Amino acid sequence: MTRLLVWLAGRVPRGPRMWLAGALTELVYFAWVTKRRVTIANMAQVLAVAPTDPKARWAARRTWRNYGRYVADFFYLPNTTPAAVVARLRDMTPAPGWRARLEKARADGRGVLLATAHFGNWDAAGVIIGSEFPLHAIAETFADPRMNELVVAQRAALGITVIPMERMPRRMLRLLQEGGIVGTPVDRPLPAGEGVPIVFFGRRCYVPGGIAQLALRTGSAIVAGFVWCDEVHSPTYYGYMTEPIIPEPSGDRDADVIALTQRLYDDMADIIRRHPTQWYMFRSFWPAEEAHDATASGPQAAAPARDRLAATAPSESHVEQAAPATSEGPTTSVREG
């Protein structure tokens, strides 16, 4: 089925392909009531409106349409080349651009933790970066070995080396110590009281702290990169990379993890706020029991939950196990969502 979809994506013109994929996922949006409500609630939080506001409903519907278009692009990528993808990029990063920011993050030779979100087209982002820098991406292993081999080979052909999730801890540490670049989506919500407490779009939530813990252990810089399309889905890719976040340990490990994670999510919030319908979050990101908490931003607002972080945080020898999970392509994203 995957081979057939890849074959079809390479032969159907872009316009009809995007229209059909967007229409199909809009139908899923209307038919899947629980996911529709969750998406509306998430968009309401991002837009700072009530879930009953028409703006939240419009944004939620548009998010699912854009996700379908991402899926169509995902199946099309094996039919193209890295050079062709890069040629479509319009860099929105302030001068001197995304390459300079990534080179700055790599300057001390301690490796780079490249974070992204389920936003826009993160596969195209990997292709663009992998065309100029050695990139390793964390990914789940498919249960079907043939499917796994197919996806790994397709990504390798586009310049992305896949790190299987089960082999992640040691390989990540080794790659970072060798100055490598390791990328993964990090926007994975956790239940209240688990993980790292942060404030995201004015409300407390809980997320994995693996990126921050690895940065503090290895000294690696954290950067966030994003690629997205416009609302008419022209062939242009728009790209943006944040300024590197350099870990500066204070001696308070828990506070440092919270502060680094908060800075990363602040950067993510900036880009999502500008393009909310490009964020494909179909799970409740904010715990209902935290709805009354945290109207300010920054690590100070998350401080009341630090005791829970200290109680559950892994020891330094087990920091690898806290690395963030990611999803493998569009199929897993919907399933996990």
Report yes or no: 113 and 176 within 8 Å, Cβ to Cβ: yes
Could you give phi then psi for residue 88, rounded to 5 degrees? Answer: -90, -5
In a domain, 11, yes or no: no
Q: Is residue 69 part of a domain?
A: no
Higher-pLDDT residue of 321, 170: 170
User: CA–CA separation, 307 vs 316, rounded Å?
Assistant: 17
For 3, the enclosing helix (H) or strand (E) is helix 2-9
CA distances from 148 to 4, 6, 161 (A): 16, 15, 13
Q: Specify the residue for token string 């651009």.
A: 97
- Residue 290, domain member (yes or no): yes
d(CA 229, CA 236): 7
- Residue 322's pLDDT band (cuts 50, 70, 90): very low
Domain span holding position 276: 82-336
Provide the strand spans (E) within the chain.
89-91, 112-116, 135-139, 160-164, 181-185, 196-200, 203-207, 221-228, 237-241
Six token digits for residue 32? 């899947």
What mean pLDDT comes out for the span 253-267? 97
> What pLDDT, in 10s, does the model give residues 200-228?
999 999 999 999 999 999 999 999 999 99
Q: How many Cα atoms occupy the beta-carbon half-sphere of 190 within 13 Å?
A: 18
Listed residue (158, 118, 128) closest to 330, CA to CA: 118
Q: Which ranges constitute the DSSP H helices of 275-326?
A: 306-312
**71 belongs to a structural domain:** no
CA distance 89 to 62: 23
How many Å from the N-terminal Cα to the C-terminal Cα in the chain? 22
* Within a domain: 67: no
275-285, pLDDT tens digit by residue? 999 999 999 99
- Flag whether 314 is in a domain: yes
pLDDT more than 70, % of the chain: 85
Cβ 181 vs Cβ 143: under 8 Å: no
SS (H, E, C) 42-111: HHHHHHCCCCCCHHHHHHHHHHHHHHHHHHHHHHHHHHCCHHHHHHCEEECCCCCCHHHHHHHHHCCCCC
Of 9, 337, 37, whose CA–CA distance to 187 is shortest? Answer: 337
Residue 53 lies in a domain: no
Compute the distance between CA of residue 318 and CA of residue 130 in angstroms, rounded to an integer: 29
Is 8 a residue whose pLDDT tops 50? yes
Least confident of 59-63, 155-159, 292-296: 292-296
Q: How many domains does the structure of the chain reveal? A: 1
Q: State pTM to two decimals.
A: 0.84
Does any domain span residue 125? yes
pLDDT for residue 253 is more than 90: yes
| Separation between Cα atoms, residue 283 and residue 261, nearest integer Å | 20
